[in-house]
Amino acid sequence: MPGGRLDNLDPQHLESLRARADLPKDQIAVRTGVTPNVISRWFNGHSSPAPAHALALANVLGVDVLELTGKTLDTADVVDLRQRKGWRGVDAAEASDGEANRSVLYNFERAIKVPSNEQFALFARLYDVDEATIRRAWVNRRVTRYGADSLTFLSDDEKRRLHLDV
């Protein structure tokens, strides 16, 4: 999700969601609060929406934000879950009421060091998912960024925190 925008937004998939919702692009523009030119850029693959616009687009199309990129709660990573709320990183930090500053969020999303159980609980609460989902999303992020082999370098304690087989 470079630049904080939705990644992997497939124009053909977006078009099928639009057709299923039976909405012309100009109506989508009006309902999402962006210009028709912006909608055209999303639908032709030249850009993708920022989290708040992705949430508005998903609502207009009657789908979950994850469905815009063809993901599910099982395949989403932690950035997808944040964006599912329509949040940028700073928004998630602010929503935590001081429990997670931008640095904590940044480290969580980098997926280098396995978070504490308390951090998993916090992010599950923030993103309105259960703890199993947030742990799986963290693992998905790590695998996407560093490869499946990166899980082999985790300690047994870290694997237990992730609920991976030890």
pLDDT of residue 2: 39
The answer to whether 11 touches 1, Cβ cutoff 8 Å, is: no
Rounded to whole angstroms, the Cα distance separating 59 from 51 reads 12
Rounded to whole angstroms, the Cα distance separating 141 from 13 reads 23
Helices (H), the chain: 11-21, 25-32, 36-43, 51-61, 65-68, 78-84, 89-95, 102-110, 117-126, 131-146, 156-161
The answer to whether 86 touches 52, Cβ cutoff 8 Å, is: yes
Q: Enumerate domains of the chain plus CATH numbers.
A: 2-68 (1.10.260.40), 78-161 (no CATH)
Q: What is the pTM of this model?
A: 0.91
pLDDT in tens, the chain (166 residues): 334 788 888 999 999 999 999 999 999 999 999 999 999 999 999 999 999 999 999 999 999 999 999 999 999 999 999 999 999 999 999 999 999 998 999 999 999 999 999 999 999 999 999 999 999 999 999 999 999 999 999 999 999 999 998 6
